[in-house]
C-alpha cells in the first residue's frame, strides 16, 4: 500500500497569497508591465479646463500635426451611445456641448509614443464659457440640485418619542471624502480582433459591466467584446465603475485604427478625474433617557454625488441600512438625498456608504455620554443589539447569532479599557501640554449586495487527466486574496493540495453576466459557485468510482455515497485500503467518457428588500466586531497620534486565517486614515489641490501604533455560508472610527458637557482648531461655530 499523509484540509490553513511572491519580486504582472506589441498606440485625453460651462469650441488641429499623433477623437467619433451609467444613464463618455467637472474627458489622443500622445494633448484647445458651479452640499441643497430620488426608512413614532424624551441633542455632522489611492492607476489595453471584435485587458473590478459599456458605446454586441482581468494593483471600489472610461478610450482608438491601444493614467490624473468616497452632511435629532438609551432618532443624510449618479443611489441605500450600526433604535426616521455638484462623479469605496453612517451614530453615542456625564462604553452597551425584541433593525431584519454583547464585554476586559480610561482622564486633569483619549466603537456590517440580482456567481471548473484542476470565476483579484481562498475551497472539494489547483485569469468569455467583486462578497459568491461546480464533477466521478472500485471487491455493492476524495486519492470508505491516485483515476474516468468539467452557479438565498416600503432582509448575514483606540493630542500643535489599538471581530470560521488577518489590519488602517489624516481639498474653481502623495496623506508605517492587538471570536455558527466563513473585506474599515472617537473623547475632557465640534477627518489642523474653539468659548473670548462643517 502506498504511503499516505495524514488527512488535512486546505480550508482553514494560512496558505500564502498566490501572488505574494510575485508582489515582492516584481514578477506579478500588471497592465503597464505588459510589453507593448507591434503597432501599439498610447492614449491620452484632454479634459475640461473648468468645473461647469458650455463648450464654445474644441480645436484639435494643432494636435493632429504633432509628429507621432495618429488620431484625435471627440464624441462625434463614437459609433454607439455616448451616454452610459451603472444605475442611471446620465454620464457621457466624452463631453458634448457642456462640461460638468474639471478634467472631464473631451478629446482622446492616440500617439505612437507616450511623448507624442502627451504633446498632442497639450496642443488641444478647449474653449468653455464658465457657468456658476456647485461645489458643496449646502449650495446643492439650496439650489435643489439632486441626483436620484429621495429615500426613506422609518420605524415606530419618532415625533412622539422626541416630544417625550428626557434629554435631546440636535445638530449636524460632516464627514469628508477619501481617495482610494490604489497603487496601480486606472489602466487598460485594447486589442483588435477579427470582424471588429475587441479584447480588453483591464484593471477592473467589474469585467461584465466593462464589457457591456464597451459594447453599448462602441456599437458592438456583447458577444463581440471580451474583457479580462488578471489582477489589479489595488482598487478599494474605485475600479468598480470608473474603469469604464479608460477602457472606452482604449477601445475607441482600437476601433478607429485597428491597432492595439494602451491607457495608463498618471497618479496625478487619476486622483484629479476619478470619483472618491462621498462626503456627507447629516442633520440629526436624538432623544434619550437618563440611562443613555436612544428612544428617538432622526437622521437626514445628504451626500455629495458629484456630476453624475454613478453608484450613489446604492451607496446612499447602504447608508440608510447602516444608520443603526450596532444599536437598537425603536423609533427612527431616516432620509437620504444625493446632491449633484461639479466634481468628478463620486463612486464606490470600501464600505460603500456604511462608514458615513457608522461615523454619525458613533459620534452621537459620544455626545450622549458627554451630556449625561457617563462613559460612552456604557452608553454603547445599553443600546447594543441583544435578545428579542431588541434584535430587529429599522428595516425589519432580525439580527441572528448576535455576538455583539459578548464582543463588547470580552474586548473591554482584554484591552483593560476601564483602567486605561481612568488613567487617560487623570492624565488630562494634570497635563498642560497633552491630552489622551480612548474609545470603543463597533461595527455590524450587512453582507450582500443590496441590489438583489447582483447576489449571484458562476464558476467553471476543469479537472485534467493528470489530476490537476483549473478554476475560473467572475471574481477579480485586487490583492485581497480571493483567488487563494477559491483555490483552497476547490482543493478541499477534491481532497487535493492547493498546488494542484490553479485559478485562471478572470474573463467574460468563461464566466458570463457576473457581478462586480465588491460588497465583501467575492469569496461568498464565487467560492460557493466553484464548490457547486466541484460537486457536479464529484457526483459523476463518484458514480464511476462506485462501479469501478466494486469490481475489485465483490462484497461491496456499488454506492456513490460511500466514495471519498481525500489526500489526493479516491476510495470507497468501506474499503479505504483500495485507493487510486486522483490523477490516475481522472484519466480512467476520462477513458470511460466521464465529463470532468462543470459550470457551477450560486445565488444567495433568503434576501429580499422592498425599497418602496424600506422593509425586508437585504443581507444574508452580518459581520460584527469592535475596536478600542487610544490617542494622544498635542495641545499646542493639534498633533494626533494613535498609540494603541485592540480589535476583536466575529468572522466565523476563516478559510485563510493569514489573509483574513491581513485584511483586518489593512481595512482598519484605511479607515483610520479616512478618520484622522486623509483630507481632500478643492479650490473655489473646483480643482482638486490634494492630488498626489505630497499633498494627500495616507497612513504610513510610522502611523501604525506599537500596541496593535487583533483577536477573533470563536464562532462556527454561520453554517449557511461557504465553509461557515464570514466576509472580512469591508467591516474592519469602519472600526477606524474608534480612533476618531478617541480624539473626540480627549477633546471632551476639555469641553466637559459641552459639544465637541470635531470634523471628520480629525487632521492635526482640525483638532487644533476644535481645541482652540473650545478653550476660547470656555474663557468667554467669543462664541465660535459649534456645528461641524
What's CA 561's distance to the chain center, in Å? Answer: 41
- Angstrom distance (rounded) from CA 616 to CA 609: 4
Marked catalytic residue, from 367, 562, 730, 765: 730
Give the number of other Cβ atoms within 10 Å of residue 774's Cβ.
22
- Angstrom distance (rounded) from CA 678 to CA 67: 41
What's CA 441's distance to the chain center, in Å? Answer: 20
- Angstrom distance (rounded) from CA 599 to CA 619: 26
- Angstrom distance (rounded) from CA 459 to CA 449: 19
Give the number of other Cβ atoms within 10 Å of residue 56's Cβ.
10
- Strand, helix or coil for residue 622: strand
DSSP 688: B
- Angstrom distance (rounded) from CA 628 to CA 262: 46
Q: Which helix (H) or strand (E) holds 626?
A: strand 621-634
328 neighbors 391 (Cβ within 8 angstroms): yes
For residue 88, count CB atoms less than 10 angstroms from its CB and return exposed for 0-12, middle for 13-18, buried for 19 or more. middle
Q: Which residues pair with 501 in a beta bridge?
A: 469
- 173 contacts: CB under 8 Å, gap ≥ 6: 280, 281, 282, 284, 359, 360, 363, 760, 788
What's CA 541's distance to the chain center, in Å? Answer: 39
**Is 44 marked active-site?**
no
342 neighbors 720 (Cβ within 8 angstroms): no
- Angstrom distance (rounded) from CA 98 to CA 46: 14
Per DSSP bridges, beta strands 261-264 and 41-47 are parallel
DSSP 723: G
- Strand, helix or coil for residue 312: helix
- Angstrom distance (rounded) from CA 671 to CA 642: 13
The backbone region for 75, taken as left when phi is positive above 0, alpha when psi lies in -120 to 50, beta otherwise, is alpha
- Residue spans of beta strands (DSSP E) within 341-403: none
Nearest to 374 by CA among 421, 311, 433: 421
195 neighbors 506 (Cβ within 8 angstroms): no
What is 393-410 written as a DSSP string? -TTS-B--S--HHHHHHH
- Strand, helix or coil for residue 672: helix
Q: Which helix (H) or strand (E) holds 425?
A: helix 417-430
What is 489-532 written as a DSSP string? HHHHHHT--GGGEEEPPEETTTS-SPPPS-TT-HHHHHHHHHHH
User: CA geometry: angle at 758 spanning 755 and 762, to 5°?
Assistant: 160
- Residues written for the chain: 789
350 neighbors 670 (Cβ within 8 angstroms): yes
What is 3-22 written as a DSSP string? --PPP--STTS-PPPTTHHH
- Strand, helix or coil for residue 127: strand
Q: Please report, to the nearest 10 degrees, the dihedral formed by the alpha carbons of residues 302, 303, 304, 306 taken in order.
A: -120
Per DSSP bridges, beta strands 280-288 and 167-175 are antiparallel
- 176 contacts: CB under 8 Å, gap ≥ 6: 279, 678, 679, 680, 759, 760, 761
The residues annotated as belonging to the active site are: 730
Amino acid at each position: 500500500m502506498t504511503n499516505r499523509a495524514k488527512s488535512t484540509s486546505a480550508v482553514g490553513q494560512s496558505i500564502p497569497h498566490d501572488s505574494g511572491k510575485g508582489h515582492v519580486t516584481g514578477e506579478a504582472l500588471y497592465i503597464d508591465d505588459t510589453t507593448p506589441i507591434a503597432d501599439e498606440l498610447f492614449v491620452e485625453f484632454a479634459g475640461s479646463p473648468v468645473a461647469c460651462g458650455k463648450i464654445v469650441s474644441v480645436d484639435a488641429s494643432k494636435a493632429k500635426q504633432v509628429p507621432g499623433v495618429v488620431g484625435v477623437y471627440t464624441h462625434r467619433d463614437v459609433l454607439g451611445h455616448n451616454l452610459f451609467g451603472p444605475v442611471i444613464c446620465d454620464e457621457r463618455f466624452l463631453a458634448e456641448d457642456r462640461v460638468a467637472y474639471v478634467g472631464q474627458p473631451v478629446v482622446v489622443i492616440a500617439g505612437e509614443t507616450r511623448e507624442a500622445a502627451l504633446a498632442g494633448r497639450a496642443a488641444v484647445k478647449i474653449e468653455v464659457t464658465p457657468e456658476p458651479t456647485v461645489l458643496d452640499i449646502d449650495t446643492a441643497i439650496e439650489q435643489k440640485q439632486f441626483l436620484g430620488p429621495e429615500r426613506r426608512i422609518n420605524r415606530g413614532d419618532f415625533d412622539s418619542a422626541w416630544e417625550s424624551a428626557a434629554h435631546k441633542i440636535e445638530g449636524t455632522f460632516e464627514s469628508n471624502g477619501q481617495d482610494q489611492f490604489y497603487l496601480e492607476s486606472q489602466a487598460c489595453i485594447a486589442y483588435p480582433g477579427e470582424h471588429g471584435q475587441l479584447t480588453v485587458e483591464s484593471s477592473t473590478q467589474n469585467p461584465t459591466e466593462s464589457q457591456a459599456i464597451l459594447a453599448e458605446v462602441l456599437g458592438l454586441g456583447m458577444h463581440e467584446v471580451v474583457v479580462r482581468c488578471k489582477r489589479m494593483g489595488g482598487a478599494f471600489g474605485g475600479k468598480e465603475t470608473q474603469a469604464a472610461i479608460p477602457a472606452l478610450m482604449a477601445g475607441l482608438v482600437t476601433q478607429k485604427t485597428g491597432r492595439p491601444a494602451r491607457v495608463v493614467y498618471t497618479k496625478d490624473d487619476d486622483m484629479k478625474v476619478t470619483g472618491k468616497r462621498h462626503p456627507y452632511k447629516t442633520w440629526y435629532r436624538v432623544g434619550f433617557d437618563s440611562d443613555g438609551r436612544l428612544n428617538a432618532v432622526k437622521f437626514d443624510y445628504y451626500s455629495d454625488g458629484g456630476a453624475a449618479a454613478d453608484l450613489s443611489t446604492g451607496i446612499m441605500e447602504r447608508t440608510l441600512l447602516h444608520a443603526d450600526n450596532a444599536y437598537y433604535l425603536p423609533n427612527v426616521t431616516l432620509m437620504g438625498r444625493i446632491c449633484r455638484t461639479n466634481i468628478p462623479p463620486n463612486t464606490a469605496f470600501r464600505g460603500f456608504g456604511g462608514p458615513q453612517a457608522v461615523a454619525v451614530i458613533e459620534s452621537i453615542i459620544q455626545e450622549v455620554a458627554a451630556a449625561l456625564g457617563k462613559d460612552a462604553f456604557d452608553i454603547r452597551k445599553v443600546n447594543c443589539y441583544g435578545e428579542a425584541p431588541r434584535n430587529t433593525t429599522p428595516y425589519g431584519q432580525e439580527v441572528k447569532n448576535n455576538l455583539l454583547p459578548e464582543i463588547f464585554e470580552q474586548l473591554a476586559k482584554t484591552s483593560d479599557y476601564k483602567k486605561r480610561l481612568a488613567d487617560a482622564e487623570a492624565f488630562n486633569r494634570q497635563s498642560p501640554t497633552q491630552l489622551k483619549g480612548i474609545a470603543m466603537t463597533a461595527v455590524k456590517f450587512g453582507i450582500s449586495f443590496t441590489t438583489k440580482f447582483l447576489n449571484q456567481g458562476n464558476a467553471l471548473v476543469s479537472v485534467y487527466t493528470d489530476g490537476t484542476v483549473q478554476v475560473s470565476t467572475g471574481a477579480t483579484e485586487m490583492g485581497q486574496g480571493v483567488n487563494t481562498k477559491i483555490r483552497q475551497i476547490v482543493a478541499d472539494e477534491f481532497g487535493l493540495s492547493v498546488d494542484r489547483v490553479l485559478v485562471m485569469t478572470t474573463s467574460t468569455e468563461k464566466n458570463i453576466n457576473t457581478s462586480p467583486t465588491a460588497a465583501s462578497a467575492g469569496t461568498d459568491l464565487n467560492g460557493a459557485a466553484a464548490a457547486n461546480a466541484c460537486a457536479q464533477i464529484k457526483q459523476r466521478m463518484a458514480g464511476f468510482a462506485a462501479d469501478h472500485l466494486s469490481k475489485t471487491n465483490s462484497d461491496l455493492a456499488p454506492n456513490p455515497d460511500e466514495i471519498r476524495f481525500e489526500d489526493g486519492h479516491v476510495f470507497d470508505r468501506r474499503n479505504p485500503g483500495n485507493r487510486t491516485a486522483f490523477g490516475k483515476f481522472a484519466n480512467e474516468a476520462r477513458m470511460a467518457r466521464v465529463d470532468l468539467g462543470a459550470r457551477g452557479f450560486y445565488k444567495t438565498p433568503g434576501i429580499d428588500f422592498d425599497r418602496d416600503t424600506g422593509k425586508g432582509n437585504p443581507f444574508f448575514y452580518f459581520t460584527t466586531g469592535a475596536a478600542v483606540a487610544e490617542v494622544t493630542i498635542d495641545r499646542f500643535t493639534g498633533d494626533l497620534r494613535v498609540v494603541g489599538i485592540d480589535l476583536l471581530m466575529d468572522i466565523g470560521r476563516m478559510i485563510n486565517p493569514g489573509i483574513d488577518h491581513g485584511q483586518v489590519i489593512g481595512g482598519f488602517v484605511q479607515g483610520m486614515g479616512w478618520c484622522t489624516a486623509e483630507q481632500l481639498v478643492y479650490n473655489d474653481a473646483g480643482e482638486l489641490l490634494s492630488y498626489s502623495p505630497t499633498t494627500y496623506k495616507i497612513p504610513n508605517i510610522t502611523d501604525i501604533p506599537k500596541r496593535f492587538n487583533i483577536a477573533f471570536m470563536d464562532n462556527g455558527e454561520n453554517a449557511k455560508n461557504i465553509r461557515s466563513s464570514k466576509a472580512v473585506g469591508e467591516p474592519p474599515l469602519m472600526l477606524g472610527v474608534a480612533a476618531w472617537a478617541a480624539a473626540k473623547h480627549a477633546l471632551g475632557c476639555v469641553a466637559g458637557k459641552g459639544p465637541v465640534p470635531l470634523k471628520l477627518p480629525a487632521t492635526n489642523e482640525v483638532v487644533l482648531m476644535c481645541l482652540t474653539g473650545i478653550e476660547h468659548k470656555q474663557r468667554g473670548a467669543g462664541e465660535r461655530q459649534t456645528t461641524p462643517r
